[in-house]
Each structure stands twice: as structure tokens, then as C-alpha cells.
């Protein structure tokens, strides 16, 4: 029997086969998709669901909150997954934001709150 996590990982691996499923960028994608799937941005819930280390999930969360994409426990900007449709461009913009490589406001660029989850092992 497949779990929600295994379905998410298979979907992402099938959709982006060149990236490989064992690196930190894939893990960032899993965290974002899991947050949308679970409808929560709770670091505790995401760690429990994904099995990833708190330090890694927290680094993703810091960047998403810094960019205003996660707010008050909600993933308010998960429009990349709407009505069963998947928008690759919007998803990748948010993956880059989660990695600390893209900013959605000048404040996010200059406030010094960006972290680098890619240097951490999930």
C-alpha cells in the first residue's frame, strides 16, 4: 500500500527524472509538496511526515516565511497546485525561494534571514 509520502516522491521523481531523488533539492521539493498536501507549514508535522531532520525542514521554513509564502501555519502561496493542475514554473520559483536562491520582495533580500538548506542533509 502506498503512503502519501511515497506518492509525492514518485510524482516528483517521474516529473523531474533528471534531478535524482537522493539530493537535497529533491528533498526541498518534497517538503513544499508535503506542506501543500498536508495543508500545514508546521515544521514538526513536516518532519514527522517526511522523516527529514528538523534542521533541514526548518531551513526551508525560514526561507518560505522570509518570502511571505508561508504565513501563520498556512501555505498561502501554493497556487502551483490548483484544482488538480500543476504549474511547473511557479513551483520552481518557490523551490528556488525555499533554497534561498530567489526572493519575492526587497525586504526578503536585505533582512539577512536567508538560510541554505542545500548544505544540510535531509
pLDDT mean over 64-89: 89
Tell me how many domains the chain contains: 1
Asked if residue 112 has pLDDT above 80, the reply is no
Q: Is this model's pTM higher than 0.85 or not?
A: yes
Tally the C-alpha atoms within 13 A of residue 69's C-alpha that lie toward its C-beta: 28
Q: Residue 72 sits in which domain range?
A: 4-119
Q: How many angstroms separate the CA atoms of 64 and 4, rounded? A: 22
Compute CA 13 distance to the chain's CA centroid, rounded to the nearest angstrom. 15
Task: Give tens-digit pLDDT for 13-23.
Answer: 999 988 788 87
Say yes or no to pLDDT of 34 above 90: yes
Q: What are the φ and ψ backbone dihedral angles of 56, each rounded to 5 degrees?
A: -70, -50
Amino acid at each position: 500500500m502506498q503512503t502519501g509520502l511515497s506518492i509525492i516522491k514518485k510524482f516528483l521523481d517521474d516529473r523531474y527524472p533528471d534531478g535524482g531523488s537522493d539530493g537535497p533539492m529533491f528533498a526541498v521539493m518534497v517538503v513544499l509538496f508535503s506542506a501543500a498536501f498536508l495543508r500545514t507549514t508546521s515544521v514538526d508535522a513536516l518532519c514527522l511526515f517526511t522523516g527529514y531532520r528538523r534542521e533541514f525542514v526548518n531551513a526551508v521554513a525560514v526561507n518560505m516565511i522570509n518570502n511571505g509564502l508561508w504565513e501563520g501555519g498556512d501555505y498561502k502561496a501554493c497556487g502551483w497546485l490548483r484544482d488538480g493542475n500543476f504549474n511547473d514554473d511557479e513551483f520552481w520559483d518557490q523551490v528556488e525561494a525555499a533554497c534561498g536562491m530567489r526572493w519575492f520582495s526587497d525586504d526578503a533580500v536585505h533582512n539577512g534571514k536567508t538560510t541554505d538548506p542545500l548544505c544540510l542533509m535531509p
